[in-house]
């Protein structure tokens, strides 16, 4: 196995991303005839990855979009519910 795969948590997402990239670089457009071919191609792809790794940045556009959406919601009480506009509170 070319990479250690964690069983859970945020690292699992990153490990899956790396494995997807290595699989594409190593196996796309190829037609392996035996398991040794697959192992050799994946090892070469992993070596290439190690020479020039793709940087991963947590957050990015998706996180910014989620943050903006959350700012547009107005919480209702202590529940997980929200309203799209502020609710006027009774003076009391």
28-79 residue pLDDT tens = 888 888 999 999 999 999 999 889 887 777 777 888 888 888 888 887 777 7
Rg of the chain, C-alpha, whole Å? 23
CA–CA dist 36, 82 (Å, integer):
55
Q: Which domain holds residue 50?
A: 10-83
Band of pLDDT at residue 90, cut at 50, 70 and 90: confident
Residue 92 lies in a domain: no
pLDDT at 36: 93
78 occurs within a structural domain = yes
Number of domains into which the chain is organized: 1
Looking at residue 66, what is its pLDDT?
Answer: 86
Distance from C-alpha of 66 to C-alpha of 45, rounded to nearest angstrom: 34
Residue 15 lies in a domain: yes
Q: Pull the structure tokens for residue 44.
A: 């070469």
> Is position 88 within any domain?
no
Q: For residues 2 and 56, what is the distance between their CA atoms, to the nearest angstrom?
A: 19
Rounded mean pLDDT, 4-16 = 67
Quick check: is 16 in a domain? yes
Model confidence, pTM = 0.50
Q: Is residue 4 part of a domain?
A: no
């Amino acid at each position: 196995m070319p990479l250690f795969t964690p069983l859970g948590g945020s690292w699992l997402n990153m490990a899956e991303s790396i494995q997807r990239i290595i699989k594409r670089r190593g196996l796309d457009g190829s037609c392996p005839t035996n398991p040794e071919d697959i192992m050799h191609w994946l090892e070469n792809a992993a070596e290439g990855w190690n020479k020039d790794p793709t940087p991963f940045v947590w957050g990015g556009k998706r996180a910014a979009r989620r943050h903006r959406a959350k700012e547009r919601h107005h919480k209702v009480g202590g529940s997980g519910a929200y309203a799209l506009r502020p609710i006027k509170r009774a003076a009391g």
